[in-house]
Structure formats: structure tokens, C-alpha cells
């Protein structure tokens, strides 16, 4: 993530070189990435509309095959394939956008970091005497993720106020109100713009999908517009400039989406319901593909043996049979030789004439 933050900070420094204004650089910086993310947002909208068109058919399938999970999954996948719909198409763009907007948030917030972020009570009181503690707002900035050789870094490290459009972007609305109501009034006006733009954006989305939204989701849509202004009240004003720019851009973007996909010129595709014959053909094709994949592997899905036994070499055929068409003559098996008797004879058995045992008996006599 640090590499991505440094990359975004480099883009911000290049914008600052073109327009040396803290607030103006943040506005252009936000607009560039909102424009880049527009195709991803449009694709997400198309995927959501396609899923809404298939909602009645998917509801029928759940009622019909609710007890058979495997059958339901096969029917659902066949329905998605017949209509060229990716069920994950609405989630993937969100996963792609989240790291980018998270990086924008941290880079903009990192501009307002001052020297000694540990705080006066924790950091300076340990390393300095109590009489030498300075006011935190009088310290210079130590911007995070910004190249130290950039003009943006040099300007921030040589000033104690991040002034732009008559406001201190490093100051939060809550701290500005602490100095006085008149001082904090412009900051409160920025928070009000954040709340109004968030409300307009959610109102546009809620008006389009009122029929397909469940009660819990509708309640959340009513609460979300009030959450961002509450957070903005404690954030630095530099982040409020980021929130206002992104919200105003999204309001215009939602107006285009409503006119393009929900207006009179909207594209309405027919829902294709696969027949039983098509389902059987698709299942046969999937089965054939799975069998071919198993056949191409090593005994299906079994893992190969670590130390397989060596194959025995076949004995070469005799010279007579090496020639093509000649059959070797079959040899009769030879008789098995019998072993000689080595156990001594019993006393009852008579000795053969001239045997060693008979000669030994004669000598003993």
C-alpha cells in the first residue's frame, strides 16, 4: 500500500507544480481519479440493471428448487449464461475502487501532518523541559508520502498554515469553532455542502431503485447522508475539499446514469429463459469437459507419486522371433530335479549291501 500512496502523492506534486495552490491541487487531483473511475461505475450500473431484470426469474427458480441446492445452482448459472450476466459484476468494481479512494484519503490527510505527531503531552514533555513546549499549531508541516525534493514538500515544511481560498486546510471545523463562531462559519458552510451533496446523491439512487430496495437498505440510505458531515466536522479541511469534489462529481454522474439507463432512451434487453433441452445439452457439455480434463491429468485428480518404481525392462526377443511374421517354437518345461536324501535311515530299515552304515556296524562288532 505504501507504494500506491507514494504513486498518488507523486501525481499530486505534479499537479501542484502546474497550479501552486493546495486547495486547487486537491480538487484537480480528485477530479482526475473520478473521471478514470467513471467507466468502472458505468459497468457496475449495467451489471446491477441486468441482475434486476433477472430478479423475477431467479425468484421463480428459488421457489421451484428451494430444497435442491445443486439443482438451483445449475438453473441459476444457466440463466446467467443465457443472458450473458456475471453475478459478480456488481461487486468487482467496488473492490477495485476501494483501494484507490482509500489511497486518495490517506494522501490528502498526510499533507496536514505536522512535526511531532505524537503530541505535546506524550512526545515533547519527555524529551524537553516543560518551559520549552511549543504550541502544536505553530509547528511546520511534515507531509507524508510526498517526495522531499518536490516543491509541495518544500513549501509545506517552511510554513505553519496551509492557506488556500482564505482557509487553513489543516484546521478542522471543530477547532475553527473553538476560536470563535465567525472564524468557524466558513468551515461550517463547507460541512453543509458535504451534507447537501451526499443527500442529493443518495436521493438519486433511492429514487431509481425504490421498488427493488428492501426496508433495511432503504433505512440505511436515509442515514448515510448524515454520517459524512459528522465525520467531516472533525477532519482537516483538506479532506472536506476532497469530499465536496467527489460528491459534486457523483451527483452529475448519477444524473447521466439516470438519463442514459433509466430514462426514455434506456436499453431494455429481453430475458432469455433456457429450455429443458438446452439445460441437458449444457450439462452434457460440462460433463464432457470435466471428463476430458480428468483424462488429460495424471489418473484424474490424484497426486503423482513422489518416487515411482522403476519400470522393468522387457527381455529382448530371440533372434529367430525378431523377424516379422516368424513365431517362436514353444519349448517343453524341463523336469524338476529332486534333491538327494540326507536324513539318516531309521533303525528298522535294512541297510543296502556295501553301504557305509553296514561297514561301520561290522567294525563295531
Number of domains in the chain: 1
Q: Range of 86's domain?
A: 2-114+135-261
Sign of CA dihedral 221, 225, 228, 233: negative
Do residues 242 and 104 make contact, with C-beta atoms less than 8 angstroms apart?
yes
In a domain, 345, yes or no: no
Q: Please report, for residues 5, 189, 195, 355, the alpha-carbon distance to residue 245 in angstroms, rounded to integers and kept in the order given.
A: 20, 15, 13, 124
Q: What are the average pLDDT values for consecutive 10-residue runs of the chain, which has 365 residues?
A: 87 93 94 91 82 81 79 80 74 72 88 67 39 62 88 90 91 90 92 92 75 62 79 91 93 87 63 65 70 58 58 62 53 59 55 63 66
69 three-class SS: helix
Spatial CA neighbour of 190 closest among 149, 242, 142: 242
DSSP 306: S
In a domain, 97, yes or no: yes
Spatial CA neighbour of 271 closest among 6, 85, 67: 85
Torsion of CA 225, 231, 237, 239, to 10 degrees: -80
Burial 187-212 (b: 16+ CB within 10 A, else e): bbebbebbbbbbbbbbebbeebeeee
User: What integer pLDDT is reported at residue 97 of this predicted model?
Assistant: 73
In a domain, 355, yes or no: no
User: What integer pLDDT is reported at residue 201 of this predicted model?
Assistant: 86
Which residue has cell 459497468? 43
In a domain, 223, yes or no: yes
Q: Which three cell numbers stand for residue 234?
A: 472533525
Amino acid at each position: 500500500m505504501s507504494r500506491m500512496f507514494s504513486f498518488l502523492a507523486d501525481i499530486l506534486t505534479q499537479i501542484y507544480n502546474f497550479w501552486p495552490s493546495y486547495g486547487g491541487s486537491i480538487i484537480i487531483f480528485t477530479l482526475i481519479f473520478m473521471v478514470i473511475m467513471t467507466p468502472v461505475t458505468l459497468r457496475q450500473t449495467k451489471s446491477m440493471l441486468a441482475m434486476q431484470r433477472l430478479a423475477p426469474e431467479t425468484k421463480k427458480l428459488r421457489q421451484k428448487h428451494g430444497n435442491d441446492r445443486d439443482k438451483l445452482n445449475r438453473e441459476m448459472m444457466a440463466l446467467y449464461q443465457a443472458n450473458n450476466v456475471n453475478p459478480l459484476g456488481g461487486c468487482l468494481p467496488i473492490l477495485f475502487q476501494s483501494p484507490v479512494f482509500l489511497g486518495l484519503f490517506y494522501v490528502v490527510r498526510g499533507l496536514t501532518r505536522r512535526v511531532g505527531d505524537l503530541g505535546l503531552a506524550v512526545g515533547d514533555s519527555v524529551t524537553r523541559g516543560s518551559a520549552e513546549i511549543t504550541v502544536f499549531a505553530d509547528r511546520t508541516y511534515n507531509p507524508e508520502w510526498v517526495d522531499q525534493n518536490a516543491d509541495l514538500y518544500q513549501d509545506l515544511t517552511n510554513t505553519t498554515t496551509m492557506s488556500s481560498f482564505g482557509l487553513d486546510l489543516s484546521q478542522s471545523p471543530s477547532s475553527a469553532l473553538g476560536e470563535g463562531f465567525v472564524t468557524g462559519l466558513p468551515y461550517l458552510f463547507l460541512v453543509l455542502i458535504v451534507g447537501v451533496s451526499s443527500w442529493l446523491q443518495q436521493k438519486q439512487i433511492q429514487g431509481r431503485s425504490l421498488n427493488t430496495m428492501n426496508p433495511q437498505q432503504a433505512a440505511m440510505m436515509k442515514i448515510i447522508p448524515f454520517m459524512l458531515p459528522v465525520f467531516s466536522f472533525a477532519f482537516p479541511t483538506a479532506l472536506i475539499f476532497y469530499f465536496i469534489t467527489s460528491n459534486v462529481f457523483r451527483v452529475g454522474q448519477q444524473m447521466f446514469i439516470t438519463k442514459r439507463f433509466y430514462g426514455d432512451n434506456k436499453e431494455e434487453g429481453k430475458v432469455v429463459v433456457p429450455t429443458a433441452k438446452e439445460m441437458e445439452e449444457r450439462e452434457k457439455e460440462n460433463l464432457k469437459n470435466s471428463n476430458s480434463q480428468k483424462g488429460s491429468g495424471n489418473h484424474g485428480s490424484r497426486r503423482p507419486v513422489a518416487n515411482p518404481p522403476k519400470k522393468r525392462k522387457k527381455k529382448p526377443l530371440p533372434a529367430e522371433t525378431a523377424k516379422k511374421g516368424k513365431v517362436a517354437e514353444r519349448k517343453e518345461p524341463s523336469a524338476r530335479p529332486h534333491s538327494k536324501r540326507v536324513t539318516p535311515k531309521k533303525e528298522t530299515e535294512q541297510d543296502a549291501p556295501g553301504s557305509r552304515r553296514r561297514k561301520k556296524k561290522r567294525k563295531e562288532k
